[in-house]
Chains A and B, each alone.
Chain A
Amino acid sequence: MSADAIAIATTLILAALGALFTERAGVLNLGIEGILLTSAISSFLAADASGSVWLGLIVGTVIGAVLASIHALLSVVFRANQIVAGLALVIFGTGLANFLGKPAEGKTVTTVINPLSFGPLSDIPVIGPIVFGQDIITYLAIALAIVASRYLFSTRPGLELRATGDDPATVDAQGLSVARIRIRYTMIGGALVGLGGSWLMLAQSAGWHQAATTNGLGWIALALVVFAGWRPMRIIFGAVLFGFTLQLPFTLQAEQITFIPSAFLEMLPYLATLIALIALSRPGSRNLLGAPRALGTPFVRDER
């Protein structure tokens, strides 16, 4: 069962980490879903043309950063409404991905990312395939979350990043460029989302199915960041939980368990997030939740 849940969780961890870095810098990028889709199809086309999945992953990651730079330009430099800019990116990215994906419809990549082999360890029942049956990107995603946690909470640049999201005026007074930090982390975030999208395409090798390729994983990643209270380690936990609930309808269907309507199971991850979101937002608990205080607000020095 849960090997598939881990598969979904990998994309979720990468996309949510990308969103987390962006939001920790105070930028709200709702365009994750559009970036995921465009990166997915770009990586597919690159891998298909070159025969190398690794080149595909690189192309997808770069495309992610490029799309995020559009968001950074609009929301940081032009101080546009970040919510609308993010949504514009979703629409643009969806159109672009479907446009580029037309020749890819019905095709699957010939070379895929293979799971690593740990010899007999991978053969242990139940635990074996889950813990030792993943590919390198899955392990990388988990490692990235751990590194991100260390980076955010125990390093100088991590402190600057958090400060930029919480109190940009102070960062500015320190002589650092708020705009530069925000652009940098928005692009790093986009690259992570791009890697997640590419991985989804190349490791799952499910082929290109237009918007159904990501099926809203980008939006779930955004909810996951809230759920995780903007903390990288909790993202791993949340992503596995979400991956599991997203996979549950298929698992139960395969096991012929039908007394729970599958539509309800489909709703479950969204419902759980909604309830968690409401439960965590008692009045005045915004700090407890951990939302960056300047999230979504452009920094303007002279209007301070």
Chain B
Amino acid sequence: MQIPFRVVFEQRGETPRRLSLLVPFASVVAALFFGALFLLATGYSPIDTYTNMFRDGFASFNGITDTLALSTVLICTGISAAFAFQMNLYNIGGEGQLYLGLIGGAWAGIALGDHLPTLLMVPVVLLCGAIAGAAWIFVPAFVRSRLGTSEIVSTLLLTYIGASLIKHVIYTPGSFFRNPNTSFPQGRMVADSASLDSFGSSRLYPTFFVALIIAGALYWVVKRTEFGYRINVISDSPRAAHYAGINARRTTMWVMLISGSLSGLAGAMLIVGPYGKIEPSIITLGYGYAGIVVAALARNNLGLIIVSGILFSGLRVGGNNLQVTTDTPIHIGVMLQGAILLFALGGEAFRRYHIHIVRVHEATSQKASA
């Protein structure tokens, strides 16, 4: 059987500006619409679900501050993913690097905490987390730049190894990171000097502004520095970069190490912020994976990641509160995140291509059916 029409994709020379704004917006609307149909089909009220999610995610004091608090982490893991993705380096192991950031940060907070004042201690904790995150991506970065080993698989495998490591340091009796005073396995608290206070009665920590500053700084690096220029040349045309004498190996190495350190930083921010210790439940939360979604929705634009990071955090905070406010399963939040990204990816095609349907010439379709 021959289908009498075909879909033609025509590459756009330049994307109309209105489409660049319309497509992400339409993706979110389409995903919410799809979610509403799904909720109706499974016997839940979409209106109740969405109003509750919106109120608890974006429209109450606790909602907004919780959303911004979560976005602190997601912005960091988001820029971690985007920074590597823009050079076609798919570090999808941000999740594991975040675990290591937690371990590195907690180590600094416990081991050095009593020797340094807060003003110095918090940056040290963040730095140690970032270094631990970078260390976790070192092997994938090294073999990617030297041997071309797929960083997708290697960074992912290391995430599982990292999860085992988190469990190991918490559940092993006598572990340095385990609270020695309780029989129930939990993390040892870092020194007071290594933890910050949240704003007022909220759960929002000053690290939020650190995340914003880092996003801004990296934006500047990519747009304005020679290093950023090199990244752009390599991602546009590896061959041109080679002829221009750009050392792709070294740049690959650095980009991946920076990407890893940003996910590690996200983990360390949880140490100085809400956790104050290694919280083994981190391995079920998927903040690192969510960073990939945040980056993809912002099309790896480091400025837009702040917007998509906050949007996603709101969806999650609102979704998690559904447990309290309605009987809708909280997982609708995660499902909607996935749906938004799927629709955004589909929408990308409309942004990049002029899509139209043409009738196949009758003669050919007759010949084919004969």
Chain A residues within CB distance 8 Å of chain B: 30, 34, 70, 73-74, 77-81, 83-85, 87-96, 98-100, 102, 211, 216, 219, 222-223, 226, 261, 263-264, 266-267, 270-271, 273-274, 277-278, 281-283, 286, 300, 303
Contact = CB atoms under 8 A, between A and B. Distances in A.
A96 B41 CA distance: 13
A92 B337 CA distance: 7
B322 to A, nearest CB: 11
Among B42, B172, B338, B348, chain A packs the most CB atoms within 10 A around the CB of B338
Nearest to B172: A261
B342 A92 contact: yes
A92 B92 CA distance: 16
A170 B150 CA distance: 26
B167 A263 contact: yes
A87 B92 contact: yes
B329 A70 contact: no
A277 B172 CA distance: 30
A85 B289 contact: no
B147 interface: yes
Interface in B123-161: 139, 143, 146-150, 152-154, 156-158, 160-161
A80 B347 CA distance: 9
B292 to A, nearest CB: 5
Interface of B: 7, 9, 11, 42, 90, 92, 139, 143, 146-150, 152-154, 156-158, 160-161, 164-165, 167-168, 171-172, 284, 289-290, 292-293, 296, 329, 331-339, 341-342, 345-346, 348-349, 352-353
Contact of A80 (B148, B171, B337, B348): B348
Contact of B345 (A80, A219, A261, A270): A80
A266 B143 CA distance: 24
A99 B335 contact: yes
A287 B89 CA distance: 21
B97 to A, nearest CB: 15
Q: Is the interface of A mostly helix, strand, loop or mixed?
A: helix
8 contacts: A80-B345, A91-B289, A91-B334, A94-B338, A95-B338, A263-B167, A274-B161, A283-B147
A12 to B, nearest CB: 14
Contact of A102 (B139, B154, B160, B329): B329
Given A30-B152, A96-B335, A98-B331, A261 B168 contact: yes
Given A223-B153, A273-B157, A277-B154, A87 B289 contact: yes
Contacts of A83: 90, 92, 152
A276 B99 CA distance: 24
A242 B349 CA distance: 39
A91 B160 contact: no
